[in-house]
Amino acid sequence: MALRSARWYAGQDRNAYIHRAWMRRGTPADAFEGRPQIAIANTASDLTPCNAHLSEVAASVRHGVYEAGGIPLEMPVVSLGETQMRPTAMLWRNMAAMATEEMLRANPIDGVVLLGGCDKTIPSLLMAAASVDLPAVVVPGGPMLTGTFRGKPLGCGTDVWKLSEEVRAGDLTQDDFTRSESSMIRSRGHCNTMGTASTMALVAEALGTVVPGVAGTPAPDSRLLEAAHGTGRLAVEMVTAGRSPSTFLTTASFHNAIVALAAIGGSTNAVVHLLAVAGRLGVPLTLDDFDRIGSHVPVLVDLQPAGRFLMDDLHRAGGLLAVLREVRDLLDDDALTVTGRPLTSYLDDASVWDPEVIRNRSEPLVREGGIAVLRGNLAPSGAVIKPAAASPHLLKHRGPAIVFDSIEDFHARIDDPDLDVTADSVLVLRGCGPKGYPGMPEVSNMPLPKKLLAQGVRDMVRVCDGRMSGTAYGTVVLHVAPEAAAGGPLALVRTGDIVALDVAARRIDVEVPHTEWAARTPSRATLDGFAHPRRGWERLYVDHVQQADTGVDLDFLVGASGSEVRRESH
């Protein structure tokens, strides 16, 4: 077996001496003789609290790699904390992917175990692995355990939005809201709702990049460490077999990921992440594939924000494999996994242990709950909506627009008692796309006006070129493309224009005469807004970022470059 790392370590010349000598530090000589060098790409960081435990997981991976005859090499990589980073962690997803790709390529490694948890970490790791195409396998860090407040379970993220709206409506005191803080995060791990972190872990397994049955294991569960140990062993075997992402990630893999995304009621954020990963592999995935494959798939997982339960309930009830068994006829049998076996071969022994958490196919939570792709004169390149998180009575709606040019404009005016807004109004927020913010933040699920909350209104149609947290809910049309700051028609909408939403017809339109629409000029506040980066990554990002309908990657990062490095360092 010819190892990539031998290009650094084999031979007796000066360069091989340097590479070995600086890595010795007590390591036996046979560490460099035919033993696969396995990087452990670790996104642990105290500033990414959901990933803070991953160094413990890395230790178990290390034991597994050693046991299988490999050499484990922990490699800290860029970590993105969703709750901490301003203006939005999405601004750095592509940077994290690029940095990880370059470190994997530049170093003498033969394979990699990818440790991620919080929202952008697993996507960035998968993008990197797809581009460098070394044998790679993901270990998701797992969700936290469920906390309680006032005797009821708390869904982190989802209940933040709900409780904060209760405060604004006058139904919860500020003191009680503050008191709930210490209950919200009960343990290590990422959000326990079907937010983006949980979604991407489960979708990564459906894609074939996680050992089947592992995703969704709670972070404090000792079985996660057992799985990490086994994954370390697998990484060595993958190197021996030459099993890199390009050998098993195919169109069939993404088909299964989309079916899984719909069946679990997963986050709309998975759309931009899967499009970006597919772009790195050269897999011809499009926005319309999410509608074609997933929109008619039933939502079977009764989990917040669409349902009642939380991630440790899903694990207890049978996990992802039990869900996929219910929709097995919709899966592609040709899709392989990191183990070399088809994903569907793992479903025979899967069982549903709690049919309230994982619904039977004949009694779904939502009969057709997959992500719907909308088009129209407001979104010529597409927009998405998550029907399972929306109010059924608003899925077909006409109402006058109230337009906000930025999130700051929104916050300044939304609670103004004189704002001319009713429950039929459509809140339109622009300047929040990839270029305009920059970074495409999770602001699309706009808080409702206080005066409407006081009247008992709990949902309205909202339209935005930004994203929405996977833990959020509501009738929100998001990822509008092209975005306003890129000259998209969202920049032409004016307060008072009638916006028509028809999810069944897959339409989102502004009812303005064509001649008037063609004569309008974009709002300067939107075009000028926040798209003037001063330096560094932000400038590079705005100059090269693509739109939501193609995954928000940088144009020069699309496609793979492989693992070849042609020149020595000395």
CA distances from 486 to 62, 397, 465, 523, 531 (A): 46, 27, 11, 12, 10
Residue 354 lies in a domain: no
Please give the pLDDT value at position 187.
Answer: 93
Residue 502 lies in a domain: yes
Q: Are residues 290 and 393 in the same domain?
A: no
Q: Strands 379-385 and 372-376, how do they pair?
A: antiparallel
Look at residue 531 and tell me whether its pLDDT is greater than 60: no
DSSP for residue 559: S
Rounded to an integer, what distance in angstroms lies between the CA atom of residue 381 and that of residue 488?
9
Rounded to an integer, what distance in angstroms lies between the CA atom of residue 291 and that of residue 314?
25
Rounded to an integer, what distance in angstroms lies between the CA atom of residue 347 and that of residue 366?
23
Please give the pLDDT value at position 566.
Answer: 83
CB 441 within 8 A of CB 432: yes
Please give the pLDDT value at position 97.
Answer: 98
Please give the pLDDT value at position 486.
Answer: 93
Q: List pLDDT tens digits, range 275-318.
A: 999 999 999 999 999 999 999 999 999 999 888 999 999 999 99
Q: Are residues 433 and 520 in the same domain?
A: yes
Q: What's the first-to-final CA gap in the chain, in angstroms?
A: 27
Look at residue 60 and tell me whether its pLDDT is greater than 90: yes
Rounded to an integer, what distance in angstroms lies between the CA atom of residue 313 and that of residue 318?
9
Residue 73's H or E segment, with its range, is strand 71-76
Mean pLDDT of 28-54: 95
CB 298 within 8 A of CB 358: no
DSSP symbols for 472-541: --SSEEEEEES-GGGT-GGGG--TTPEEEEETTTTEEEE---HHHHHH----HHHHHTT----SHHHHHH
Residue 10 lies in a domain: no
Q: Are residues 435 and 294 in the same domain?
A: no
Q: List pLDDT tens digits, range 115-170.
A: 999 999 999 999 999 999 999 999 999 999 988 888 888 888 778 878 888 888 88
Provide the domain count of the chain.
3
Q: Are residues 310 and 387 in the same domain?
A: no
CB 198 within 8 A of CB 142: no
Q: List pLDDT tens digits, range 416-430.
A: 999 999 999 999 999
For residue 414, what is the domain's CATH number? 3.50.30.80
Q: Which two tokens stand for residue 85?
A: 């980073």
Please give the pLDDT value at position 528.
Answer: 61
Residue 72 lies in a domain: yes
Rounded to an integer, what distance in angstroms lies between the CA atom of residue 144 and that of residue 153?
13
Sorting pLDDT into bands at 50, 70 and 90, what band is 527?
low
Q: Which two tokens stand for residue 464?
A: 């935005």
Side chain identity at 450, as an amino acid letter?
K
Q: Are residues 129 and 174 in the same domain?
A: no
Q: List pLDDT tens digits, range 207-240.
A: 999 999 999 999 999 999 999 999 999 999 999 9
Least confident of 180-184, 384-388, 398-402: 180-184
Please give the pLDDT value at position 233.
Answer: 98
Report the DSSP beta bridge partners of residue 499: 399, 510
CB 191 within 8 A of CB 142: no
Q: List pLDDT tens digits, range 341-354.
A: 999 999 999 999 99
Q: Are residues 537 and 437 in the same domain?
A: yes
More confident residue, 160 or 477: 477
Q: Are residues 55 and 127 in the same domain?
A: yes
Please give the pLDDT value at position 355.
Answer: 97
Rounded to an integer, what distance in angstroms lies between the CA atom of residue 461 and that of residue 474?
8
Where a domain ends, among 346, 361, 394?
346
Sorting pLDDT into bands at 50, 70 and 90, what band is 533?
low
Q: Strands 136-140 and 111-116, how do they pair?
A: parallel
Rounded to an integer, what distance in angstroms lies between the CA atom of residue 32 and that of residue 483?
51
DSSP symbols for 286-320: -HHHHHHHHTTSPB-B-BTTTSSB-HHHHHHHTHH
Q: Are residues 331 and 192 in the same domain?
A: yes
Q: What angle separates helix 222-241 from helix 54-67, to the nearest 10 degrees?
A: 50
Q: Are residues 201 and 320 in the same domain?
A: yes
Residue 9 lies in a domain: no
Please give the pLDDT value at position 394.
Answer: 97
Rounded to an integer, what distance in angstroms lies between the CA atom of residue 60 and that of residue 52?
15
Look at residue 30 and tell me whether its pLDDT is greater than 70: yes
Mean pLDDT of 253-271: 96
Mean pLDDT of 254-258: 98
Please give the pLDDT value at position 159.
Answer: 81
Q: Are residues 401 and 476 in the same domain?
A: yes
Sorting pLDDT into bands at 50, 70 and 90, what band is 525?
low
Q: Are residues 193 and 303 in the same domain?
A: yes
| Centroid of chain to Cα 6 | 36
Residue 294 lies in a domain: yes
Residue 16 lies in a domain: no
Look at residue 529 and tell me whether its pLDDT is greater than 60: no
Q: Which residues of 303-323 are buried (b: 16+ CB within 10 A; e: fewer)?
A: bbbbbebbbbbbbebbbbbbb
Mean of pLDDT over the chain:
94
Q: List pLDDT tens digits, range 82-104.
A: 989 999 999 999 999 999 999 99
pTM of the full structure: 0.95
Look at residue 410 and tell me whether its pLDDT is greater than 60: yes
Please give the pLDDT value at position 530.
Answer: 52
Q: Which domain holds residue 160?
A: 155-182
Q: Are residues 259 and 121 in the same domain?
A: yes
Q: List pLDDT tens digits, range 360-388.
A: 999 999 998 789 999 999 999 999 999 88
Residue 49 lies in a domain: yes
